[in-house]
Structure 1
Amino acid sequence: MTLPEGAPKLEEILIQTASVPWREKSLKGVHEKMLWRDEATGASIALIRFEKGASIPQPHLHASNQFMYCLSGHYEYTATGVTLKAGSFYCNPKGNVHGPTLAHEETVVLEIYDGPHYPEKPSWYTDERDAH
């Protein structure tokens, strides 16, 4: 098939996620598998794993919309009681303050951002990559 002149070239991506190692983030008990990232916009798709007892320690906000689909576990936004369990979908709009959180058991979520994650690196991360 020939694309019309000027049409964007799309590249398909296939990742066997079981073969991708978890990268430990600088926040204890939090790991990620980055599946896709657009460096120009900051948009990303990643698997995030929280060990039992892991938490995001403070209320915070994001510089873009955040979407999460819970694949397994039990994850709670403790200030509001919003709870994610397997099959839950969570949407957090840009600029909305939320958190802190707590993983009541090991939890894995598919997390999508449509732009950069944070307006500035949160204090609980010591590695700049963790705020992307």
Structure 2
Amino acid sequence: MSKPEFEFFPVTDVEFTVCAGGDPLITERILSKDPVTGVATRILRYAPGADSTPIGVQRHDFWEEVYILEGSFEDLTLGQKFGAGEYACRPPGMPHGPWRSEEGVLTFEVRYPAGGEKR
């Protein structure tokens, strides 16, 4: 299986839901998701004041590409702030976060399996 096929549709038709971890200030719009691998394309939103410290440093078993659409957030491990127009490409296993956003941030993320394999 893979992500479903979609033609253009209004992204605003997809509701924001609370991300894993349960913080209501950190939400996502899942635009497409592979039910087998769990990898997804999503819009991630941190409301002003959101802080992902409780979930700690993240490492994934998949590739993750992130483009910041609006606002900014700070990687608390690196002590570095990233803002609109910046991009990251993270290979499987790369540590990142936790994150805090004073003003709020909106990102576009694409995730896909390591090596393109199915699990």
TM-score of Structure 1 vs Structure 2, range by shorter chain: 0.7 to 0.9
What CA deviation, in whole Å up to 9, does each residue of 1:16-39 have, x standing for no partner?
012322112312311111000111
For 1:83, the equivalent position in structure 2 comes to 81
What is the DSSP-based 3-state SS (H/G/I as helix, E as strand, rest coil) of the residue aligned with 1:75?
Answer: strand
Higher Rg of the two aligned structures: 1
State the Cα distance separating 1:82 from its structure 2 match: 3.6
> Which of these residues, 13, 27, 50, is aligned with residue 19 of structure 1?
13
For 1:107, the equivalent position in structure 2 comes to 105
Q: TM-score, normalised by structure 1?
A: 0.72
Aligned residues between the structures: 107
What is the DSSP-based 3-state SS (H/G/I as helix, E as strand, rest coil) of the residue aligned with 2:104?
Answer: strand
Percentage of pairs with the same residue: 24
Report the aligned-residue RMSD.
Answer: 2.0
**Structure 2, unaligned stretches of length 5 or more?**
115-119
Go from structure 1 to structure 2 and tell me whether the alpha carbon gap of 1:108 and 1:41 turns closer, same or farther (over 3 Å shift).
Answer: same
1:15 partner amino acid = F
Runs of 4+ in 1 over 6 A off after TM superposition: none
Greater percentage in strand:
2
2:25 partner amino acid = G
1:98 partner amino acid = H
> Which of these residues, 26, 45, 48, is aligned with residue 30 of structure 1?
26
Q: TM-score, normalised by structure 2?
A: 0.79
1:60 aligns with 2:55: no
State the Cα distance separating 1:101 from its structure 2 match: 1.0
State the Cα distance separating 1:87 from its structure 2 match: 0.9
State how far apart, in whole Å, the 2-side matches of 1:60 and 1:42 are: 16
2:113 partner amino acid = G
**Structure 1, unaligned stretches of length 5 or more?**
1-9, 117-132
